Amino acid sequence: MAGGWVFTAALAAAVFAGSREYFELVRSRGIAAGMTPPPRFVSRACSVICALMPVLTLYRCGHMGISMTSSAFIVAMALILQRGNPRFAQLSSTIFGLFYCGYLPCFWVKLRCGLAAPALNTKVGYTWPILLGGHAHWTVGLVATLISISSIIAADTCAFLGGKAFGRTPLTSLSPKKTLEGAAVGLGGCIITAIMLSKILSWPTSLLSASAFGVLNFVGSLFGDLIESMIKRDAGVKDSGSLIPGHGGILDRVDSYIFTGALAYSFVKTALPLFGV
């Protein structure tokens, strides 16, 4: 809700913790047995770079490509100039880490803070306290972020409940507990949530666009979850970390959000204007 540096600082903290977990997974016995992991000083430097990317995105007008390209070049030079025998596996796992843990989460900053056009039709804004920003606080970025996050939560919750109640057909070998039936219920819950919130917040303005937004959020959350499952399977671990007792690491909690921010931003910025929304 706060947006600005508060939202960005919270995201940067999550990105830093998630990137540390990612590089520990890369160094785990399951993955390291088949490749050479990057040196620890490179992994730690990449975690710091990933945490700085959201801040640079906020204060450098969203020019993420420059920071990503520069970071990748610096890291590549550090790997090539290291002592010993540099390996391509070190480069590929490190560059993917910058992309996965640093670049992709920055789209949440672009979505929340970069889309500053006022959500004029959102009636909630008219009753929003002046001390909390008043009507001007309700931007397209805030509304889109609220709908996207709520849709992801609905998708995960409905998929879990649907899988428990009706699950029979495995969805993929990457995650044996996921079923087609659960995914179908999750998709329905995601679309319904997006439509309901679009009616409450008066954005998007059409049923078709709200439904499409729900489908996009579901696809991003599902495949984000599966990609993290693939990494954990190769690492031979159940959880990405132990930061959250009983729930695993930060990546276990935010894997559904990693790709979704980029998809949601692209949808709002590119797809909706094509239809005059």
Q: Tell me which of 13-27, 79-93, 189-203 is least confident.
A: 79-93
Look over the chain and give the mean of its residue pLDDT values, rounded to a whole number.
91
Please write the tens of the pLDDT for every residue from 161-180.
999 999 999 999 888 889 99
Of 46, 60, 144, 155, residue with least CA distance to 106: 60
Of 53-57, 112-116, 127-131, 264-268, least confident by mean pLDDT is 127-131
pLDDT at 191: 97
Q: For residue 81, what pLDDT band results from cuts at 50, 70 and 90? A: confident
Under 8 Å between Cβ of 135 and 126: yes
**How far, in Å, CA of 155 to CA of 142, rounded?**
20
Position 256 scores a pLDDT of: 96
Average of pLDDT values for 134-148?
92
Whole-structure pTM value: 0.93
Mean pLDDT of 127-141: 86
How far is Cα 156 from Cα 158, in angstroms, rounded to an integer? Answer: 6
What pLDDT does residue 87 have? 86
Domain coordinates in residue numbering, the chain: 1-114, 137-277
Report the alpha-carbon distance of residue 138 to residue 16 in Å, rounded.
Answer: 29
Q: Which band of pLDDT confidence, cut at 50, 70 and 90, is reported for residue 277?
A: low
For residue 117 the two structure tokens come to: 């056009």
Residue 128 confidence (pLDDT)? 86
Contact between 54 and 106 under an 8 Å Cβ cutoff? The reply is yes
Please tell me the predicted confidence (pLDDT) of residue 254: 95
SS3 per residue for the chain? CCCHHHHHHHHHHHHHHHHHHHHHHHCCHHHHCCCCCCCHHHHHHHHHHHHHHHHHHHHCCCCHHHHHHHHHHHHHHHHHCCCCCCCHHHHHHHHHHHHHHHHCCHHHHHHHHHCCCECCCCHHHHHCCHHHCHHHHCEHHHHHHHHHHHHHHHHHHHHHHHHHHHCCCECCCCCCCCEHHHHHHHHHHHHHHHHHHHHHHCCCCCHHHHHHHHHHHHHHHHHHHHHHHHHHHHHCCCCCCCCECCCECHHHHHHHHHCHHHHHHHHHHHHHHHCCC
